[in-house]
Amino acid sequence: MKSFRKNVVRCARQNPGSFMGAVFIIAIGIFVYVAMMDTLRNLGDQVQRYYDSSAIADVFAQVSGISEVELERLKEIPGIEEVSGKMAVDVRLFAPSQTEIVTVHLLSYDSSDSLNKLMLNGTGTRKDSIYLGNRMAGLYGYGNGTPLTLMINGKSVRCELAGTCYGPEYIYAIPPGGAMIPDGEIYDIACIEKNRMEELTGKKDSMNELGFRLAKGYSYEDVRYQLMDRLSGYGLISLTSKEKQASYNMVKGEINELYSMGTVLPILFMSISVFMLYVVLKKMIDRDQSLIGTMKSFGMRDGELILAYLYQGAEVGVLGALAGSVLAVPFGRYMFLMYVDFFNLPDTVYHSYMNTRVSGMGIAVGTGLLAVYLGVRGILKITPAQAMRAKTPASAGNLRLPRFLASRLGAMEKMGLRSVVRNPFRGFLIILAIAFPFSMSSVLFSFKGVADQMYFDQFSKVQTYDIQISLDRYVSSIRGKSAGEEIIGVEKSEAVIQKAVELKHENLSEFAMIYGLNRESSMWRIMDLYGRFYDPPEDGIIINSRIAEKLHLEEGDVMEVSVPGLTAEAVKVPVKAVIKESLGGGCYISAKGFSRFFDSVPMAGTILLKVEHGKLDAVREALLKTSRVTWMVDTKRITQSYRDMMGSMMAMIQMFSFMAVAAGGILIYNISMINIRERISELGTFIIMGGTDKEIGRILLFEQVVYFILGIVLGVFGSLGVKYLMEHLVISDSYTIELAIRPSCYGIAFLTCLAMAGASLLAQTRFVRRIRLTDILKERE
């Protein structure tokens, strides 16, 4: 047994490229698995610990205002175990050397809060001590004692920075104005002592952000409608479960994407490893058939023979797991830092988990053993008598070529075509080896187009204004428009409506944003995922497909819309169209239609500005001096934020693309070399009969061209499957991905595979030139 195992190892070392290629592919899979799972665990564990320590609520609500006594009475609803509330308001923040309009979501702090507890780092004792979000404080380098000024209700209030704060429902703090990426330079949370908050806002005992903990065994749907009924009298603006709360949903979505990518990509690479090891070992068994039969005749059992080969599979798995685990550490740390740059977490220390590496080792070894077993199970069928004779060649008839093709092919090309037809399994392996990198790389290269579609198109085709500002109160549309045009450097101004509304259809309801836009506007247009534009209707509403699916709405249906603070009863509005959007999601109606349906005077709280060329800084400086603006969105800044974020993600995607190409190159090279070694007798006989290197080269070239064409065709179909898989790995309520594989990406993938196939062809021709005629006598067919 020991001697036979040594012989197996010796035979394996005769094909070091194949085994090292299998090790490399397994290492890629384990590299992705360990890096993603470590990042996932670091993020998931730290987020969950923070949620637990801060007692995050199960249900969130936003109202105009409710007293503490009335809030406590909501415990009467069956299923409500605990209630808690805060005062919250968006205010301008002024600080030394500030060059941006900075907005903070100011929260009241009370040490007796039972849910959604704020975490403070600092020791502020003064009446006007304020705690600033950790992200903003870190970006600006503010230290304790920095003087800050808040603009509340048109009055300036001086404060002193006492430290930093964190809120469980603001881990992912999204600024207003449609951006989906946190930007701590212009928006973050802040908190101040509750009594001082009441003094500044002029509201006593009036909480507007509420949290509810559910009793065991109750769900959001069990309490939803009773809560809506009880809170409607307090100006209910939104009501949502924890799972749909903005920050929680974004964090969970990112973690789910990590889990999906960390599961699917390793499975793909491990499947390639199984495929490659299977091919290598199957050929080894065919070659060692005589030796295996001889060992059986001496009494060696099947289990002992298989165990000798399984040892090789385990060795490949262990080496691949070790290499992948070591290389995963820096990449996992890079990914973790990329995510925590957008998450407001109190603990951001990266840990390497040993059990992740142990499970990775188990996956790698299991992959190696599975591949080996599939390749060597043919041992069970080999008998000593069968092993004494050469393997019967597969039968193959003469290939009849169509006349038009036969007249155009030379003798060498015909021989190459017959070789392709007579060895379908060998050809299928090479075709698969070409199709895999083509499919993967063409899809992964297309992700840059997704970024353009989702983010950059949004601010070049849909929201084409330069600046969006929000006022501290509603004004008439005409007054808002004229006020914007009075600013020196503003070329054009528009007033639009943005309101939180409740949508109802049958027994379903959903909170969303409604946008009252101007017809034939060039600054904010409605565009679907396919580039079609729509005018905001005056006799109905256009609704996002994600919201429509939740409410079971279709074009032509009628839904009920409630606008807090504006409508006493729900208003029936027909659905004019249901559209898919790349980014965001809401409902669209014309400004005139909004006033007509909801019986209100024309009003606006949001102003869009188109700035003259070269005047952007001057306009920003003018707005910075005003007190009526609560926040400002600079589309150039948002685009740059997206570009920065997508730059990191694109680097990661490009690395995955490189891995897919590298794995494909290894597959093409090794399978081609395995097949050429099997044909030593065939090619050697041809050389003995007078065949030249040039003629053999023509045969191999024609074979490679046929395999390459078929591999590319199969790869095109495979890319559609990978495309579907990737689209469903990245799922969010905030955006929709429809991955379009651009012709240029197919072109790059084609050239990449062509280069790999060309390198493989050169290696095959070099191998043929080194064939010695004496080697042919050693081969058994």
Q: Which of 54-63, 200-209, 378-387 has the lowest mean pLDDT?
A: 378-387
Res. 106 pLDDT band, cuts 50 70 90: very high
Structure tokens that stand for 510 in this block: 């959903």
Phi, psi of 132 (to 5 degrees): -110, 150
Asked if pLDDT for residue 3 goes beyond 60, the answer is: no
Asked if pLDDT for residue 153 goes beyond 60, the answer is: yes
What was the pLDDT predicted at 72?
Answer: 92
Mean of pLDDT values over 570-585: 84
Block residue for tokens 């740390």:
333
User: Residue 456 CB: number of other CB atoms within 10 A?
Assistant: 14
- At 7, which helix (H) or strand (E)? helix 2-13
Asked if pLDDT for residue 56 goes beyond 90, the answer is: yes
Domain-by-domain residue ranges, the chain?
1-57+242-392, 58-241, 403-461+637-781, 477-602
Helices (H), 84-219: 134-140, 194-201
CA distance 420 to 710: 11
Question: Would you say 464 and 522 are in contact if contact means Cβ atoms under 8 Å apart?
Answer: yes
End-to-end distance of the chain based on CA atoms, in angstroms?
27
Q: What is the pLDDT of residues 15-30, one digit of tens each?
A: 666 677 778 878 888 8
CA distance 709 to 434: 9
Res. 692 pLDDT band, cuts 50 70 90: confident
Q: Write the DSSP symbol of residue 453.
A: I
Q: Write the DSSP symbol of residue 93.
A: E
Half-sphere exposure of 730 (CA within 13 A, CB side): 17
Structure tokens that stand for 463 in this block: 């929201």
Which of 234, 206, 236 is closest to 224 using CA atoms? 236
Structure tokens that stand for 143 in this block: 């230290």
Q: What is the pLDDT of residues 592-640, one digit of tens each?
A: 888 888 877 777 888 889 988 888 888 888 887 777 787 777 777 777 7
Sign of the dihedral defined by the CA atoms of residues 382, 386, 391, 396, in that order: negative
Q: Which of 582-586, 671-675, 697-701, 718-722 has the lowest mean pLDDT?
A: 582-586
Question: Would you say 485 and 492 are in contact if contact means Cβ atoms under 8 Å apart?
Answer: yes
Report the range out of 91-95, 344-348, 460-464 with the highest average pLDDT.
91-95
What was the pLDDT predicted at 452?
Answer: 64
Asked if pLDDT for residue 735 goes beyond 80, the answer is: no
Q: Which of 243-257, 296-310, 530-544 has the lowest mean pLDDT?
A: 296-310
Res. 86 pLDDT band, cuts 50 70 90: very high
Mean of pLDDT values over 140-169: 86
Which of 463, 456, 493, 457 is closest to 477 using CA atoms? 493
Q: Across all residues in the chain, what is the average pLDDT?
A: 80
What was the pLDDT predicted at 780?
Answer: 47
What was the pLDDT predicted at 781?
Answer: 42
CA distance 430 to 56: 55
The type of residue at 655 is M
What was the pLDDT predicted at 124?
Answer: 66
CA distance 536 to 550: 22
The type of residue at 295 is M
Asked if pLDDT for residue 522 goes beyond 80, the answer is: yes
Asked if pLDDT for residue 130 goes beyond 70, the answer is: yes
Non-local CB neighbours of 364 within 8 Å, separated by 6+ positions: 26, 29, 30, 270, 317, 318, 320, 321, 324
Res. 584 pLDDT band, cuts 50 70 90: low
What was the pLDDT predicted at 643?
Answer: 67
Which of 195, 210, 274 is closest to 240 using CA atoms? 210
Helix (H, G, I), strand (E, B) or coil at 314: helix
Phi, psi of 559 (to 5 degrees): -120, 165
Helices (H), 446-506: 447-451, 477-485
CA distance 738 to 724: 9
Helix (H, G, I), strand (E, B) or coil at 674: helix
Asked if pLDDT for residue 429 goes beyond 80, the answer is: no
